[in-house]
Structure 1
Amino acid sequence: MKTFATRLGNYSIKKVLVLFAVLFSSCVSSHYDQTENFLFSWKIGDLKTAAVEAEKLSESGPKKDRLLYKLEEGSTKRLSGDLEGSVRALGEASKEYERWFGVHLEADARVSDQVSSVLGSAEWKPYKSRVYERVMMRMYQALNYLQLEEKGRARAEIFKSRQAIEDARQIWSKELLAAQEEMNRKGINLNRGMNEKDGSSLQREISRIRSMIPPNLPNYLNPAAIYLEALYFLRGGTQREDFEKASFSLRRLAALFPENQWIREDLGEAMSFKIDSRPKTYVFYESGRAPVRVEKRFDLPVVFFATNARIPYLGLALPSLQTTGEILSPLRVGANGLEEPLSTSLLADMDAIIAKEFEKDYPLELSRAIAGSLAKGGLQYLATDAVRDEDDVTRAVVGIGAGLLAQVTTRTDLRAWATLPRRIEVCKLSTPADKKLTLSGGGATFRELVTLNDSTTNLVWVRRISSHTPIRVVGVLSLDP
Structure 2
Amino acid sequence: MINFLPKRMVVSIIITTLSGCASFELTDLFQGYNSQMKPVKAAQRQGEFVKAQNLLGERAQSNNSYVLNLLERGRLEFLAADWQASQKSFAQAYVEIEEQGNKAKIQISKGFENLSAVVSNDNATSYQVPYYEQSMLHSYQALNYLFQHDLVGALVEVRRANLVQEKALKAYKNEIYQAQKELNNSGMTTDSLYSGYPSMASAIGQVKNGFQNAFTFYLSGILYEASGELNDAYIDYKRAIEISPENHYLQQDVLRLAAKLGMQDDLASLQQRFGKYQAQTSKEQGQVVVFIEQDIVNSKQDIGLNLPIGRSNSGLKFFSFSLPVYEGALPKHSKLTFKNQDQSYLSNEIVRIQSLAAKDLQDQLPALLTRQVVRVVAKEQMRQKLSREAGDVGNILASIYNIASERADTRSWSTLPDQVDIVRMNLPAGKQVLQVQLNGQQKNIEVDVQPNRITLINFSAIGSYTGYQAINL
When normalised by structure 1's length, the TM-score is: 0.81
Q: Deviations over 1:203-224 (max 9, x none)?
A: xx1xx21343344634411111
CA–CA separation in structure 1 for the residues paired with 2:396 and 2:193:
34
Deviation at 1:360, TM superposition (A): 1.3
Q: Does structure 2 conserve the Cα–Cα contact (< 8 Å) formed by 1:189 and 1:305?
A: no
Aligned pair partner of 1:329 in 311, 334, 342? 334
- Residue in 1 that maps onto 2:354: 351
Structure 1, unmatched stretches of 5+, are 388-393
Deviation at 1:306, TM superposition (A): 2.9
- Residue in 2 that maps onto 1:472: 467
Aligned pair partner of 2:258 in 271, 276, 301? 271
- How many percent of aligned residue pairs carry the same amino acid? 19
SS at 2:428 equivalent: coil
Aligned pair partner of 1:228 in 214, 219, 222? 219
- Residue in 1 that maps onto 2:297: 290
Q: Does structure 2 conserve the Cα–Cα contact (< 8 Å) formed by 1:112 and 1:178?
A: no
- Residue in 1 that maps onto 2:460: 463
Deviation at 1:265, TM superposition (A): 2.0
Amino acid at match of 2:306: D
Q: Deviations over 1:411-440 (max 9, x none)?
A: 110111111111111111112334323242
Q: Does structure 1 conserve the Cα–Cα contact (< 8 Å) formed by 2:287 and 2:449?
A: no
Deviation at 1:29, TM superposition (A): 4.2
Q: Does structure 2 conserve the Cα–Cα contact (< 8 Å) formed by 1:138 and 1:157?
A: yes
CA–CA separation in structure 2 for the residues paired with 1:373 and 1:357:
24
Q: Does structure 2 conserve the Cα–Cα contact (< 8 Å) formed by 1:331 and 1:343?
A: yes
Q: Give 1:132-281 correspondences, 5 Å limit.
A: 132-169=132-169, 176=176, 179-180=179-180, 182-190=182-190, 192-193=191-192, 200-202=195-197, 205=198, 208-215=199-206, 217-238=208-229, 242-243=230-231, 245-274=232-261, 278-281=285-288
Deviation at 1:237, TM superposition (A): 2.6
Q: Does structure 1 conserve the Cα–Cα contact (< 8 Å) formed by 2:202 and 2:329?
A: no
Q: Does structure 2 conserve the Cα–Cα contact (< 8 Å) formed by 1:210 and 1:359?
A: no
Amino acid at match of 1:462: F
SS at 2:258 equivalent: helix
- Residue in 1 that maps onto 2:345: 342
Moved more, 135-144 or 212-221: 212-221
SS at 2:326 equivalent: strand
- Residue in 2 that maps onto 1:79: 79
Q: Does structure 1 conserve the Cα–Cα contact (< 8 Å) formed by 2:249 and 2:348?
A: no
Q: Deviations over 1:221-242 (max 9, x none)?
A: 111111111222234334xxx5
Structure 2, unmatched stretches of 5+, are 19-25, 262-278
Q: Give 1:444-455 correspondences, 5 Å limit.
A: 444-454=440-450
CA–CA separation in structure 1 for the residues paired with 2:108 and 2:172:
14
Q: 1:426 to 1:123 in 2, by over 3 A?
A: same
- Residue in 2 that maps onto 1:19: 12
CA–CA separation in structure 2 for the residues paired with 1:268 and 1:111:
51
Q: Does structure 2 conserve the Cα–Cα contact (< 8 Å) formed by 1:438 and 1:449?
A: yes
SS at 2:371 equivalent: helix
Q: Does structure 2 conserve the Cα–Cα contact (< 8 Å) formed by 1:111 and 1:174?
A: no
SS at 1:91 equivalent: helix
- Residue in 1 that maps onto 2:418: 422
Q: Does structure 2 conserve the Cα–Cα contact (< 8 Å) formed by 1:280 and 1:428?
A: yes
Q: Does structure 2 conserve the Cα–Cα contact (< 8 Å) formed by 1:142 and 1:153?
A: yes
Deviation at 1:85, TM superposition (A): 0.7
Is 2:105 aligned against 1:106?
yes
CA–CA separation in structure 2 for the residues paired with 1:74 and 1:132:
16
Q: Does structure 1 conserve the Cα–Cα contact (< 8 Å) formed by 2:337 and 2:437?
A: yes
Q: 1:16 to 1:246 in 2, by over 3 A?
A: farther
CA–CA separation in structure 1 for the residues paired with 2:112 and 2:314:
25
CA–CA separation in structure 1 for the residues paired with 2:467 and 2:402:
46
Q: 1:95 to 1:76 in 2, by over 3 A?
A: same
RMSD of the TM alignment (CA)? 3.2
Deviation at 1:118, TM superposition (A): 2.8
SS at 2:72 equivalent: helix
CA–CA separation in structure 2 for the residues paired with 1:369 and 1:376:
10
Q: Does structure 2 conserve the Cα–Cα contact (< 8 Å) formed by 1:332 and 1:442?
A: yes
Q: Deviations over 1:158-202 (max 9, x none)?
A: 111122234445665665565445444433234x4457xxxx432
SS at 1:279 equivalent: strand
Moved more, 112-121 or 76-85: 112-121
**Aligned length, in residue pairs:** 442
CA–CA separation in structure 2 for the residues paired with 1:315 and 1:16:
27
Amino acid at match of 1:400: I
- Residue in 1 that maps onto 2:40: 38
Q: 1:334 to 1:19 in 2, by over 3 A?
A: same
Q: Give 1:124-135 correspondences, 5 Å limit.
A: 124-135=124-135
Amino acid at match of 1:472: G
Q: 1:131 to 1:40 in 2, by over 3 A?
A: same
